[in-house]
Amino acid sequence: MILLRFLAVLAAIAWAGTATAQPLAKQLFGAQKQNSQQKPAAFGSYSRGCAAGSVQLPETGPTWQAMRLSRNRNWGHPEAIDYVQDLSRFASKQPGWNGLYIGDISQPRGGPMTSGHRSHQLGLDIDIWMLPGDNMRLSRKARENISSISLRRANGAFINGNWTKQHHAVLREAAKDKRVARIFVFPGAKVQMCNEEKGNRAYLRKIRPWWGHHYHFHVRLKCPRGSRGCVNQDPPPKGDGCADAQQWVNNILNPPPPDPNAPAPKKRREYRMADLPQQCAQVLQSN
């Protein structure tokens, strides 16, 4: 606790100093072991913000298991925790599934992570494993050692033999929820869902193709109602997005030639406290 308070004081002092004198925000937020004792709130955007008053997803529930517990990333806004529990109950009714294996949500106070994600900073992003949750009594050791399964083939252009109609059903249910802004999954899965869907296709708009995301799918919730400091991502384009997903697949199979005039990619800058919303200093300083 003394170390955490010391780091919080450093953050407050650094706020008044120059940006280059400040410690990296990921070091400060990554050092937090508990949530802030504040009203639940999300400040900033999904990739540049923090979370006050987060709630911890219980390690074990009747229809879910929090995975990789050593990371301490099973914290989120109360709406995210409710969402996980709701979706896991649906998943538990699918043949061969007893629930969901939940990957990273957020750190106890959100913010930039010490490794991995650029997003997951508001407690509103949730990674859900593709491995069907069949054992709801995993040991802590097992949760560190077992791996999810990949559903992709040909670098994500197609699904592989691990794909089932239950995956489609869970993704459909996940996207239909009004709390959801979008869901990221590899392009081949989106195209497969477009081809399989014979009913209402409205939910497909929220299923967005993205690199990776074949061992898990990534749910992003909208900013909760009344969260004045939370910045929503622009909504997906109108329509079911199937033509766009097919173009992703086409580009994987037949990559377009590189643009000789394209600017060189810029190295992503590590955020310091001055880059985050001012409320994030208060989140760090809170008991």
pLDDT one-digit tens code per residue, 52-101: 999 999 999 999 999 999 999 999 999 999 999 999 999 999 999 999 99
By the 10 Å C-beta count (0-12 exposed, 13-18 middle, 19+ buried), 2 is classed as exposed
Least confident of 7-21, 76-90, 168-182, 261-275: 7-21
In this predicted structure, the answer to whether residue 11 has a pLDDT above a threshold of 70 is no
Looking at the domain assignment, is residue 264 inside a domain?
no
Domain encompassing residue 83: 38-255
Looking at the domain assignment, is residue 84 inside a domain?
yes
DSSP symbol at 130: S
Mean pLDDT of 257-274: 87
Q: What is the CA radius of gyration of the chain?
A: 20
Looking at the domain assignment, is residue 28 inside a domain?
no
Looking at the domain assignment, is residue 175 inside a domain?
yes
Mean of per-residue pLDDT scores for the chain: 92
Looking at the domain assignment, is residue 275 inside a domain?
no
- Answer for the pair 166, 97: CB distance below 8 angstroms, yes or no: yes
Looking at the domain assignment, is residue 25 inside a domain?
no
In this predicted structure, the answer to whether residue 267 has a pLDDT above a threshold of 90 is no
pLDDT digits (tens, 9 = 90+) for 23-35: 899 999 999 999 9
- Answer for the pair 210, 186: CB distance below 8 angstroms, yes or no: yes
Provide the CATH number for the domain around residue 187. Answer: 3.30.1380.10
Q: Provide the pLDDT for residue 20.
A: 56
What is the count of structural domains for the chain? 1
- Answer for the pair 212, 186: CB distance below 8 angstroms, yes or no: yes
Between residues 54 and 6, the one the model is more confident about? 54
Q: How confident is the model at residue 197 (pLDDT cuts 50, 70, 90)?
A: very high
In this predicted structure, the answer to whether residue 111 has a pLDDT above a threshold of 90 is yes
DSSP symbol at 213: -
Q: How confident is the model at residue 2 (pLDDT cuts 50, 70, 90)?
A: very low
Query: What is the largest distance, in Å, between two alpha-carbon atoms of the chain?
Result: 58
Looking at the domain assignment, is residue 26 inside a domain?
no
Looking at the domain assignment, is residue 262 inside a domain?
no
